[in-house]
């Protein structure tokens, strides 16, 4: 089985930091649980990089090389390259995701 190291982009790290800090304002334990959930979910991509679905809003535009994992209410967006999985961004699914994605990616 081929394995793909998982790399987080600077944007994704910033997104994660902002999410965790925001949640921690109300509940530090919940913030830590989400931090662990994001990292553990992304690490599953090491052996199964295609397990996430193609991002629907981008697929509608003919862009099929971005995938996502849902960690409600967030969407962890990533791309699989020849040698690695790159976590690109984390978005709140309650926002206008299509506009954000088209600007960021």
Please state, in angstroms and rounded to a whole number, the distance separating the CA atoms of residues 56 and 29. 32
State the chain's mean pLDDT as an integer. 92
pLDDT band with cut points at 50, 70 and 90 for residue 104: low
**Which tokens go with 11?**
């944007």
pLDDT (0 to 100) of residue 95: 77
Please check the confidence at residue 99 and state whether its pLDDT lies above 90: no
| Tens-digit pLDDT profile for residues 34-72 | 999 999 999 999 999 999 999 998 888 888 999 999 999
Full set of structural domains in the chain with CATH: 6-104 (3.30.2310.20)
pLDDT (0 to 100) of residue 105: 61
Q: Report yes or no: 66 and 58 within 8 Å, Cβ to Cβ.
A: yes
pLDDT band with cut points at 50, 70 and 90 for residue 102: low
Please check the confidence at residue 7 and state whether its pLDDT lies above 80: yes
Quote the pTM value: 0.89
Find the DSSP H helices in 1-105.
10-24, 28-43, 56-59, 97-104
């Amino acid at each position: 089985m081929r394995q793909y190291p998982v790399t987080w982009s600077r944007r994704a790290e910033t997104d994660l930091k902002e999410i965790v800090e925001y949640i921690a304002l109300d509940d530090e334990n919940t913030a830590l649980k989400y931090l662990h959930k994001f990292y553990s979910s992304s690490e599953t991509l090491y052996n199964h990089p295609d397990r996430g679905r193609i991002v629907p809003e981008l697929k509608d535009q003919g862009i099929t090389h971005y995938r996502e994992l849902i960690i409600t209410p967030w969407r962890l967006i990533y791309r699989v390259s020849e040698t690695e999985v790159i976590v690109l961004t984390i978005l709140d699914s309650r926002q206008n995701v299509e506009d954000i994605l088209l600007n960021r990616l």
